Amino acid sequence: MKASYKKYILNFKQASGTSRGVLRTKETYFIILENEGKIGYGETGLFRGLSADDRPDYEAKLVWACNHIHLGLSELLVQLIEFPSIQFGLEQAFLSLGSTTGFDLFPSDFTKKKASIPINGLVWMGSETFMQEQIASKLKAGFTTIKMKIGAIDFETELKLLKAIRNQYSSKEITLRVDANGAFTPENALTKLESLANLEIHSIEQPIKHGQLKAMKELCKQTPVPIALDEELIGVFNAEVKQQIIEEINPQYIILKPSLVGGIKGSNEWIDLANKQNIPYWITSALESNIGLNAISQYTYTLGVTLPQGLGTGSLYTNNIQSPLEVVHGNIQYNTSKAWKINI
């Protein structure tokens, strides 16, 4: 078996704002396996500034993984415990190599276009006008769950935007989620959550910065808006620490980004812990290309999820990999009449 990797720069159609800054490009890497005439693809979706493996030795570790591919997937996952995105890329590549078409990693009704997955429509941070335009576009496209990133502009303006949606649509018609990306402080979080509660917000992702276990625990106890842990789960490699986070904080939800928490194996570990505490979860992509999004979507379908997932990032780029994935009326589906076109 031969392994190699390629770097690929994804270009955003429109600059997208988060509390960490404005994104115009997204750097990613593809692992390519070749064996007896077959090819397998996997994406190591490094997320600069967020991934635990955003380290100077990242590409050196990719080289190491390719040079040691003979160790097999199980051993590689152990050796690469501190490089969750590379773990996930290898999982994808091995599944791809062993699949019938190279892309049916988890054959199911989803890959046969007999079923789809409900997703939320993502509204990026920006000017009030820009965010209003996005909201209108998502509603027109048939989304019934809207997720709005907050924390970058004035909170009162963000509340105004959310109120405008709620004045037009009740919580039974449109579900509203917000993602603060840790923008609140332990001192002001509860006050802001109380303001959001008046708008019947479904949940808020990571209201305060990760790593503040006691503050987050107290916030989850008192919050009038269900809290979903996101960044809190990133960079946690020890099983005992994972258990401590889930048991101590006891959040209302957890959110799993496979590229950031150790792929399928890492996600399953968090899911097992959450299930023991009866904590619901959903899966979110982390700005991967359609190669990574395909793996995440197919894996997500196997979990039997019912909540809308965060898998709507495939249309963000001008140079994404052409794939059968498409979003129709607020659902992601695998259109078997469309073909993959790998141009990396």
State the pairing for strand pair 21-35/2-18: antiparallel
Domain stop point among 66, 98, 130 = 98
Q: Which of 138, 147, 192, 257 is flagged as catalytic?
A: 257
Whether 269 and 143 map to the same domain: the answer is yes
The residue segments making up the domain with residue 22 are 2-98
Whether 86 and 128 map to the same domain: the answer is no
Domain stop point among 68, 98, 128 = 98
Residue 294's CB is within 10 A of a number of other CB atoms, namely: 27
Is pLDDT of 313 > 70? yes
The domain that holds 81 is classified in CATH as: 3.30.390.10
Is pLDDT of 18 > 80? no
CA–CA gap between residue 344 and residue 109 (Å, rounded): 29
Give domain status of residue 24, yes or no: yes
Q: Which pLDDT score, from 0 to 100, does residue 195 have?
A: 95
Give domain status of residue 37, yes or no: yes
pLDDT tens for residues 92-117?
999 999 999 999 999 999 999 999 99
Whether 93 and 191 map to the same domain: the answer is no
Give domain status of residue 104, yes or no: no
Whether 219 and 298 map to the same domain: the answer is yes
The pair of three-digit structure tokens given for residue 285, joined into one six-digit string? 């992509």
Query: When comparing pLDDT for 41 and 122, which is higher?
Result: 41
Q: Which pLDDT score, from 0 to 100, does residue 17 have?
A: 66
Domain count, the chain: 2
pLDDT tens for residues 210-238?
999 999 999 999 999 999 999 999 999 99
Answer yes or no: 221 catalytic.
no
Whether 133 and 239 map to the same domain: the answer is yes
The domain that holds 137 is classified in CATH as: 3.20.20.120
Whether 71 and 136 map to the same domain: the answer is no
Span 5-33, mean pLDDT?
87
Domain stop point among 37, 71, 98 = 98
Q: Which pLDDT score, from 0 to 100, does residue 272 have?
A: 98
Scanning 141-206, the segments in alpha helix (DSSP H) are 155-168, 189-197
Whether 161 and 260 map to the same domain: the answer is yes
Whether 91 and 122 map to the same domain: the answer is no
Q: Which of 26, 149, 192, 242 is flagged as catalytic?
A: 149
**Among the ranges given (10-14, 81-85, 276-280, 310-314), the one the predictor scored with the smallest mean pLDDT:** 310-314
Span 199-204, mean pLDDT?
96
Span 143-170, mean pLDDT?
88
CA–CA gap between residue 234 and residue 236 (Å, rounded): 6
Is pLDDT of 16 > 80? no
Answer yes or no: 138 catalytic.
no
CA distances for 257 relative to 43, 50, 68, 267, 281, angstroms:
13, 11, 26, 8, 11
CA–CA gap between residue 93 and residue 211 (Å, rounded): 32
Give domain status of residue 108, yes or no: no
